[in-house]
Protein backbone atom coordinates (compact mmCIF):
# COMPACT_ATOMS: atom_id res chain seq x y z
CA UNK A 1 0.00 0.00 0.00
CA UNK A 2 1.26 3.43 -0.96
CA UNK A 3 1.12 4.89 2.57
CA UNK A 4 3.31 2.08 3.90
CA UNK A 5 6.12 3.10 1.61
CA UNK A 6 9.12 4.97 2.95
CA UNK A 7 8.91 8.40 1.36
CA UNK A 8 12.09 10.32 0.72
CA UNK A 9 12.44 13.85 -0.65
CA UNK A 10 15.87 14.96 -1.86
CA UNK A 11 16.36 18.70 -1.56
CA UNK A 12 18.95 21.16 -2.81
CA UNK A 13 18.89 24.81 -3.82
CA UNK A 14 17.75 24.81 -7.44
CA UNK A 15 16.51 21.22 -7.96
CA UNK A 16 18.45 21.07 -11.21
CA UNK A 17 21.90 19.75 -10.20
CA UNK A 18 22.28 17.81 -6.96
CA UNK A 19 18.82 16.69 -5.85
CA UNK A 20 17.68 15.38 -9.27
CA UNK A 21 20.99 13.50 -9.42
CA UNK A 22 20.49 12.12 -5.90
CA UNK A 23 16.93 11.12 -6.77
CA UNK A 24 18.07 9.42 -9.99
CA UNK A 25 20.96 7.60 -8.33
CA UNK A 26 18.82 6.46 -5.42
CA UNK A 27 16.05 5.31 -7.81
CA UNK A 28 18.63 3.40 -9.83
CA UNK A 29 20.20 1.87 -6.71
CA UNK A 30 16.91 0.55 -5.33
CA UNK A 31 15.86 -0.69 -8.76
CA UNK A 32 19.05 -2.76 -9.07
CA UNK A 33 18.32 -4.23 -5.64
CA UNK A 34 14.63 -4.90 -6.50
CA UNK A 35 13.63 -2.64 -3.60
CA UNK A 36 11.78 0.08 -5.49
CA UNK A 37 8.42 -1.04 -4.11
CA UNK A 38 9.52 0.03 -0.60
CA UNK A 39 9.86 3.67 -1.61
CA UNK A 40 8.23 6.78 -2.90
CA UNK A 41 10.88 9.31 -3.84
CA UNK A 42 10.93 12.82 -5.22
CA UNK A 43 13.17 15.89 -5.25
CA UNK A 44 12.67 19.62 -4.82
CA UNK A 45 14.57 22.88 -4.48
CA UNK A 46 14.39 25.54 -1.81
CA UNK A 47 14.62 28.21 -4.53
CA UNK A 48 12.04 28.93 -7.20
CA UNK A 49 14.25 30.12 -10.07
CA UNK A 50 14.27 26.90 -12.04
CA UNK A 51 10.73 25.61 -11.43
CA UNK A 52 9.62 23.53 -14.42
CA UNK A 53 13.13 23.18 -15.82
CA UNK A 54 14.81 19.86 -16.65
CA UNK A 55 18.02 18.99 -14.79
CA UNK A 56 21.22 20.87 -15.66
CA UNK A 57 22.83 19.26 -18.76
CA UNK A 58 25.96 18.52 -16.70
CA UNK A 59 23.90 16.48 -14.22
CA UNK A 60 22.26 14.63 -17.11
CA UNK A 61 25.63 14.00 -18.78
CA UNK A 62 27.19 12.66 -15.57
CA UNK A 63 24.23 10.37 -14.87
CA UNK A 64 24.17 9.14 -18.48
CA UNK A 65 27.89 8.37 -18.30
CA UNK A 66 27.06 6.02 -15.42
CA UNK A 67 23.94 4.61 -17.14
CA UNK A 68 21.62 6.24 -14.62
CA UNK A 69 18.44 7.61 -16.21
CA UNK A 70 17.26 11.08 -15.14
CA UNK A 71 13.75 12.22 -15.89
CA UNK A 72 12.55 15.02 -13.64
CA UNK A 73 11.48 18.64 -13.74
CA UNK A 74 12.30 21.14 -11.04
CA UNK A 75 9.82 22.10 -8.39
CA UNK A 76 10.01 24.12 -5.22
CA UNK A 77 9.56 22.49 -1.83
CA UNK A 78 6.15 23.12 -0.23
CA UNK A 79 4.84 23.15 3.34
CA UNK A 80 2.84 20.04 2.43
CA UNK A 81 6.07 18.16 1.77
CA UNK A 82 6.87 18.40 5.47
CA UNK A 83 3.69 16.43 6.22
CA UNK A 84 4.00 14.02 3.34
CA UNK A 85 7.58 12.79 3.46
CA UNK A 86 9.20 10.56 6.07
CA UNK A 87 12.68 11.76 5.16
CA UNK A 88 13.45 15.21 3.83
CA UNK A 89 17.11 15.25 2.89
CA UNK A 90 17.49 18.86 3.83
CA UNK A 91 18.96 16.91 6.74
CA UNK A 92 22.31 16.32 5.12
CA UNK A 93 22.29 13.35 2.78
CA UNK A 94 26.08 13.62 3.20
CA UNK A 95 25.68 12.59 6.86
CA UNK A 96 25.38 9.07 5.46
CA UNK A 97 28.65 9.32 3.51
CA UNK A 98 30.93 6.56 4.83
CA UNK A 99 33.88 8.69 3.72
CA UNK A 100 32.71 11.42 6.09
CA UNK A 101 32.28 14.12 3.45
CA UNK A 102 29.12 15.69 4.87
CA UNK A 103 28.59 18.41 2.29
CA UNK A 104 27.37 17.75 -1.22
CA UNK A 105 28.85 20.88 -2.64
CA UNK A 106 27.08 23.21 -5.05
CA UNK A 107 28.51 22.34 -8.48
CA UNK A 108 26.61 25.02 -10.42
CA UNK A 109 29.42 27.51 -11.01
CA UNK A 110 32.15 24.92 -11.45
CA UNK A 111 33.14 22.34 -14.05
CA UNK A 112 31.88 18.86 -14.86
CA UNK A 113 34.30 17.39 -12.30
CA UNK A 114 32.14 18.78 -9.51
CA UNK A 115 29.20 16.82 -10.91
CA UNK A 116 31.27 13.63 -11.01
CA UNK A 117 32.24 14.21 -7.38
CA UNK A 118 28.56 14.74 -6.51
CA UNK A 119 27.70 11.52 -8.35
CA UNK A 120 30.25 9.44 -6.45
CA UNK A 121 29.11 10.94 -3.19
CA UNK A 122 25.36 10.40 -3.72
CA UNK A 123 26.11 6.84 -4.84
CA UNK A 124 27.93 6.15 -1.54
CA UNK A 125 25.19 7.91 0.41
CA UNK A 126 22.41 5.93 -1.34
CA UNK A 127 24.01 2.64 -0.30
CA UNK A 128 24.63 3.86 3.26
CA UNK A 129 21.11 5.29 3.62
CA UNK A 130 19.66 1.91 2.59
CA UNK A 131 21.83 0.21 5.21
CA UNK A 132 20.60 2.76 7.78
CA UNK A 133 17.01 1.81 6.85
CA UNK A 134 17.94 -1.85 7.12
CA UNK A 135 17.11 -2.37 3.47
CA UNK A 136 19.97 -4.35 2.06
Active site residues: 12, 18, 106
Q: How far apart are CA 135 and CA 116, in angstroms?
A: 26
**Is 16 among the residues that bind ligand 4NP (CB under 6 A)?**
yes
Q: Check residue 18 for interaction with ligand 4NP (CB under 6 A).
A: yes
Q: Which residue lies nearest ligand 4NP, judged by its C-beta? A: 14
The yes or no reply on residue 17 touching ligand 4NP (CB under 6 A) is yes
Q: Does 103 bind ligand 4NP (CB under 6 A)?
A: no
**CA terminus-to-terminus distance, the chain:** 21
Q: Which CB sits closer to ligand 4NP, 31 or 105? A: 105
DSSP 9-78: EEEESSSSSHHHHHHHHHHHHHHHTT-GGGEEEEEEESS-TTTTPPPPHHHHHHHHHTT--------B--
Does 38 interact with ligand 4NP (rule: CB under 6 A)? no
Closest alpha carbon to 56 in 122, 111, 120: 111
Q: Does 63 bind ligand 4NP (CB under 6 A)?
A: no
User: In this chain, which stretch among 14-22, 30-38, 90-98, 126-134 interacts with ligand 4NP, using CB under 6 A?
Assistant: 14-22
Residues that bind ligand 4NP (CB under 6 A): 12-18, 45, 49, 106, 108
Amino acid sequence: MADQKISVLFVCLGNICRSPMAEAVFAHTIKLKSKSHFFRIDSAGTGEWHVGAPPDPRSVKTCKKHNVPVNTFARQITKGDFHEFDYILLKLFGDYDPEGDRYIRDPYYGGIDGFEKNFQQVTRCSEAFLLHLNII
